[in-house]
Amino acid sequence: MKGDKVSGTSWDSLLRNGALVVVLLAMVWLVFNVDLPSAQELEDRIDDFGWLAWLVFIGIYAVVALTPIPVTVMAVTGGLLFGPVIGSAVSVVGVLLGSWGGYWIARAVGTDLIRRILGSHGPRVESYLDGAGFEAVATLRLMPGVPYWPVNYGSGAFGIDQKTFLSASVISVVPGQISLVALGAVVANPTWYNGVIVILGWAAVITMTVVASRRWKRASRENRESPAAE
């Protein structure tokens, strides 16, 4: 029986390391070989699909959100293609689908492998997520300089439950996506209406970042001071 246990452990380790290699190779290939077109080029290509354009856009956005490729161009393209309202809706759906996919990939491959994949992002994301789930996910989503993908994979690997991950993500991605989509809408149609949406969107991002950060600090402090943490 001991031999069977060792053999099972070896196979488990082999499969997990194999999964790490596959995920790493896929992400490296996407970053260095998939040159995301400019917003204008994306607009021209997606617009050719006619009434299916919004479905194509959501699919592309979801795939991009799975990778370290920045999602900014996709959100701006949403504004160019669909305007501020529909563009915001399809951008939010696309980025949430991709984020959810990254979360479940992390759940499948395991914590140790995700730590290696996250690299320099790992310690920061893990320290935020430790003991402050909802507040941490929201803060990391809103924090400047933190891409979406480490938050997605870190949440799946470091014990954030699905309900917390999705609820925090939905609340925190909306203002950022709206502000980026509105930038694309301003380029396509520079009206005062679109300009106001940009201003309101970024004001909401800044306000929510401050509030989420304070709530995260309070939750982390309470977690450290609670009897269970001793």
Long-range interactions of 130-133: CB distance < 8 A, separation 24+: 130/158, 130/220, 131/219, 131/220, 131/223, 131/224, 131/229, 132/216, 132/219, 132/220, 132/223, 133/159, 133/160, 133/161, 133/164, 133/165, 133/168
Amino acid at 183: L
| Cα 33 off chain centre by | 21
Cβ atoms within 10 Å, residue 17: 14
Q: Indicate left, alpha or beta for 199 from its phi (over 0: left) and psi (-120 to 50: alpha).
A: alpha
Write out the chain's pLDDT in tens, 230 residues: 444 444 445 555 555 555 544 554 455 444 444 455 555 666 666 766 677 788 888 998 998 888 887 788 888 888 888 888 899 999 999 999 999 998 988 888 777 777 777 777 777 787 777 766 788 888 888 877 778 888 898 888 888 889 999 999 998 898 889 888 988 888 777 788 878 888 888 888 888 888 877 877 777 666 666 654 44
CB 140 within 8 A of CB 128: yes
The answer to whether the predicted template modeling score (pTM) of the entire model surpasses 0.85 is no
Query: Using CA atoms, how far apart are residues 17 and 221, in angstroms rounded to an integer?
Result: 36
- Which of 70, 68, 61 lies closest to 89 in space, CA to CA? 61
